[in-house]
Structure 1
Amino acid sequence: AVHDKSAKVARASRIFVEGRHDAELVEKVWGHDLRVEGVVVEPLDGVDDLSAAIRDFGPGRGRRMGVLVDHLVPGSKESRIVAKANQVAPDHVLVLGHPYVDVWQSVRPQRLGMDAWPTIPRSIEWKKGICQHLGWAHDTQADIARAWKQILGTVRTYADLEPALLGRVEELIDFVTAPE
């Protein structure tokens, strides 16, 4: 955290993340620093229509848009979505991703007493499979929300996150705060 500085008025530039869990994790780890820089993080509720989200935001000079995407790996649905979206406003939008199926996986597994995140078969919803592996309730959305709160509660500092996420978030912060 940046010490001896207070929050700035929000910039026109924003960082967008896929969903609520992503936003909560970014807030927990980078929140104070983002407020000092005047950067707002907003959830997108998925990236299936990222091109429309970019057009709706209206990026331009002095109004940059950074986007963090889950599971941005070659050949994924997300990589095709991002390739199309990158054509909308390439000078004022930076879309970066991490390799994890979900932002949950960016939390170091050791924080949960595991050596590695388990591989969940594609036939099982990933978050439910993780909860089941950990012996946690997983039948309802409330169960998944409690599981996320438990995972998020293990995060204390940057050191509790995987470097692939840390680097991408730092790049997005640099992009939206850089002078034009």
Structure 2
Amino acid sequence: MSSYEWGAQDISAPRQVPLPKVPVSRGLVLEDVQSGYVGAVVRVEKSGGMHVMVLEDRRGRLKTFPLGFGFHVDGGPVEVVAPALAPAAPARKVTASGSVKVEGSRARTARASRIWVEGQHDAELIEKVWGDDLRLEGIVVEPLHGVDDLAGMIRAFGPGPNRRLGILVDHLVAGSKEQRIAQEAMKVPGAAANVLVVGHPYVDVWQAIKPASVGLTAWPVVPRGQDWKTGILAGLGWPNADKAAVAQGWKRLLGCVTSYSDLEPSLLGRVEEVIDFLTPPGDFDGPT
């Protein structure tokens, strides 16, 4: 019996060396081994779910070949493969306000200009959505805890070209007390060109959160004469007996806000308007 066993490795057999892979590209000169046709790639396209390449020889004749084996480049056999895909551009990161996030940026030194809002809840909501943008621009948000003496506060601030104010007022609608206060405040010397008072139509900034973001179809209706925040919490079936309950209720509502899409357009537009007013092109960074 032969000493050669079935299944034993024949070490005398030549080893198959993998052919070099050549990505197809326009201008690549190939020789089809079977036909001897030589041409340069003029285009690559998909046909029937597979890549094919169109070659043109020196006489201008065109032939189409599937990618794969059976070609020579510079006299050597190769496997022609699909062109390498360009790496996908990294997805742009955006802030909660929808603006492009500037990676590696540091907070800018605070400007002299300020955003004033009526209360702490307004400030916290703006910080959650626009905080990254405001730090990049060096704008500080300050709660006023009421606007009854808005004219006096503006006068004390001393607005000027490099010391502007953007003021966001609750319930700023035609004929309201807030509208009259805003009109009087704009008569303060220096305010006309350096102060912008805008507002949203809601009794409280809570309502600027879209009801759907809180799992509601609409905000509860609060009976006239009842404290608005307490009434909202009662309508939601949440604790509302004291200030601690109101604070906890607001925390739950704020937790429902993840981006600008959770807020009503009537607030979004006003905040963006204020930020633009405080950051004009080529502005000067005044002292804080």
Match of 2:171 among 71, 75, 99: 71
Alignment of 1:41-52 (within 5 A): 41-52=141-152
For residues 82 and 118 of structure 1, the distance between their equivalents in structure 2, rounded to whole angstroms, comes to 29
Could you tell me how far 1:3 is from its partner in structure 2?
2.0
For residues 248 and 205 of structure 2, the distance between their equivalents in structure 1, rounded to whole angstroms, comes to 15
For residues 73 and 29 of structure 1, the distance between their equivalents in structure 2, rounded to whole angstroms, comes to 24
1:17 matched to 2:117? The reply is yes
Across the aligned residues of Structure 1 and Structure 2, the Cα RMSD in angstroms comes to: 1.0
For residues 118 and 76 of structure 1, the distance between their equivalents in structure 2, rounded to whole angstroms, comes to 22
For residues 44 and 57 of structure 1, the distance between their equivalents in structure 2, rounded to whole angstroms, comes to 12
For residues 186 and 216 of structure 2, the distance between their equivalents in structure 1, rounded to whole angstroms, comes to 37
For residues 83 and 122 of structure 1, the distance between their equivalents in structure 2, rounded to whole angstroms, comes to 27
Q: Which has the higher contact order (CA 8 A, sep 6+)?
A: 1
**DSSP 3-state at the match of 1:6:** coil
1:134 matched residue in structure 2: 236
For residues 139 and 75 of structure 1, the distance between their equivalents in structure 2, rounded to whole angstroms, comes to 33
2:135 matched residue in structure 1: 35
Could you tell me how far 1:76 is from its partner in structure 2?
1.2
Aligned residues: 180
**DSSP 3-state at the match of 2:193:** coil
**DSSP 3-state at the match of 1:16:** strand
Can you give the 5+ residue segments of structure 2 that lack an aligned partner in the other structure?
A: 1-94, 96-100
Structure holding more helix per residue: 1
TM-score, normalisation: structure 1: 0.97
Can you give the 5+ residue segments of structure 1 that lack an aligned partner in the other structure?
A: none
Could you tell me how far 1:123 is from its partner in structure 2?
1.3
1:107 matched residue in structure 2: 209
Q: For the pair shown, which has the larger CA radius of gyration, 1 or 2?
A: 2
Report the residue type matching 1:16 in the other structure.
W
**DSSP 3-state at the match of 2:192:** coil
For residues 90 and 138 of structure 1, the distance between their equivalents in structure 2, rounded to whole angstroms, comes to 42
1:3 matched to 2:99? The reply is no
For residues 56 and 142 of structure 1, the distance between their equivalents in structure 2, rounded to whole angstroms, comes to 33
**DSSP 3-state at the match of 1:90:** helix
For residues 83 and 138 of structure 1, the distance between their equivalents in structure 2, rounded to whole angstroms, comes to 35
TM-score, normalisation: structure 2: 0.61
Could you tell me how far 1:72 is from its partner in structure 2?
0.4
Moved over 6 A (4+): none
Residues 25-44 of structure 1 show CA distances to partners (whole Å, capped at 9, x for unaligned) of 00000001100000000001
Structure holding more strand per residue: 2
Matched-pair identity in %: 60
2:157 matched residue in structure 1: 57
